[in-house]
Amino acid sequence: MIRKRKDIVTLEQFIIQQEQNFPYATGQLSKIIRDIVLAARMVNREVNKAGLVDIIGLTGDINAQGEDVQKLDIFANEQMIDALFKGNMVCAVGSEENDDFLIKEGSRGRYIVLMDPLDGSSNIDVNVSIGTIFSIYRRGGLDEALTKEDLLQAGTRQVAAGYILYGSSTMLVYTTGNGVDGFTLDPSIGEFLLSHKDIRFPKSCSIYSVNEGNYRDFFDGTKEYLRYIKRDMESPYSSRYIGSFVADFHRNLLKGGIFMYPGTHQRPNGKLRLTFEANPMALIAEQAGGYASDGRKRILEILPEDLHQRTPLFVGNKEEVLKLEEFIRNSGYGTSTENLND
Ligand code: P6P
């Protein structure tokens, strides 16, 4: 069906409509979203031709996580930082690719952006979808120097969060606290068009996403939950795991599902980062009627101690995540005392 002109809403038009609906909005947040989208267009161009030019492959560097850094990681990180600081709205950026915060000296910008510039990058050279994840916070007073309390805020303090998925199509999904909306890039006109208005998790949860290769190392509660959802039943769950968080999360958001990156005996805090991955996706999940937990408590209420802090993550349909919490509660959460989220 050819969509009539009136049905086509660009991201720009949507932002203007939103600002009209919320008169108190200063438009600064929208400007940051635009800056992020500019960087995403540059990343998208390189991702789409990654197989053709010498931009795939490792730089030989190791990032703050001790992971090999792919060239597109660096490119995405640089594009995002450049667009955000040139936009003048942002005074500090925390990135999975940088050990510490990047502070724009003397900036009057009111906002702080935390991001994973290219999540799932280990999948780049096998052509699996990857993504950019971002969180936006507001700083405290403009006159005081930036403090640790400005830079490391609980997820409930996010004023916006979103991701760009570089997949079969390129999508932007974000929230400013008034629901979740999705935009698909039309490459023929270079515009992100509103394609998924007011996204909500489906009522039923039929998908679970977890790397079962780690099963033997899971804590009892996680194992018992997995046994529970695999029991004989009329409508069994499907197991879907891409190994690229943005792609797994996005599919579950649209089709209904629970994503799990549990803590294990080897890695009690799991693998995903609280600030760059768990918090933004937790806000999006809750805004879409879902929920995100570390297995015992709401992700958004965890006060980060460290920019690169990891957390166990269970996110998706609210009832499903609450059920998982019940299994963990009844079986006792891992024995580790190393969990930073205590
Ligand atoms: P594993 C990709 O490296 C990533 O950070 C996430 O995108 C993904 O969900 C996870 O790691 C996959 O980790 O240990 O299952 O390969």
pLDDT in tens, 181-234: 999 999 999 999 999 999 999 999 999 999 999 999 999 999 999 999 999 888
Atom of ligand 1 nearest to the CA of 67: 3
- The chain-wide mean pLDDT, for the chain, equals 90
Measuring CA to CA, which residue among 61, 57, 56 is closest to residue 99?
Answer: 61
From CA 12, how far away is CA 30, in angstroms rounded? 9
Q: Selecting from 3.10.20.30, 3.40.50.300, 3.30.540.10, 1.20.1260.10, what CATH number does the domain 11-196 have?
A: 3.30.540.10
Q: Who has greater pLDDT, 280 or 109?
A: 280
Contact 294, 302 (CB under 8 A): yes
Class of domain 207-330: alpha beta
Q: For residue 335, what pLDDT is reported?
A: 41
Q: Atom 4 (ligand 1): residue with closest C-alpha?
A: 120
Using alpha carbons only, what angle is made at residue 96 by residues 339 and 193, rounded to the nearest 5 degrees? Answer: 120
Q: For residue 6, what pLDDT is reported?
A: 65
Tell me the average pLDDT across 17-33. Answer: 81
**Residue spans per domain, the chain:** 11-196, 207-330
Atom of ligand 1 nearest to the CA of 244: 7
Atom of ligand 1 nearest to the CA of 211: 15
User: Which residues sit with their C-beta closer than 6 Å to ligand 1?
Assistant: 119-120, 122, 211, 243-245, 248, 271
Q: Atom 14 (ligand 1): residue with closest C-alpha?
A: 211
From CA 257, how far away is CA 260, in angstroms rounded? 10
pLDDT band at 141 (very low <50, low <70, confident <90, very high): confident
Please report, for residues 12, 37, 72, 75, 99, the alpha-carbon distance to residue 69 in angstroms, rounded to integers and kept in the order given: 33, 23, 8, 11, 13
65 Cα–ligand 1 center, Å = 12
Q: Atom 5 (ligand 1): residue with closest C-alpha?
A: 120
138 Cα–ligand 1 center, Å = 29
pLDDT band at 337 (very low <50, low <70, confident <90, very high): very low
Q: For residue 309, what pLDDT is reported?
A: 97
Whether residue 341 has pLDDT greater than 70: no
Contact 287, 175 (CB under 8 A): yes
Token couple for 338: 């190393």
Neighbour-count burial for 237-263, b at 16+ CB within 10 Å, e otherwise: beebbbebbbbbbbbbbbebbbbbbbb
Q: Atom 13 (ligand 1): residue with closest C-alpha?
A: 243
Token couple for 294: 């570390």
Q: For residue 339, what pLDDT is reported?
A: 44
Sorted by sequence, the CB contacts under 8 Å of residue 231 that are 6+ apart come out as: none
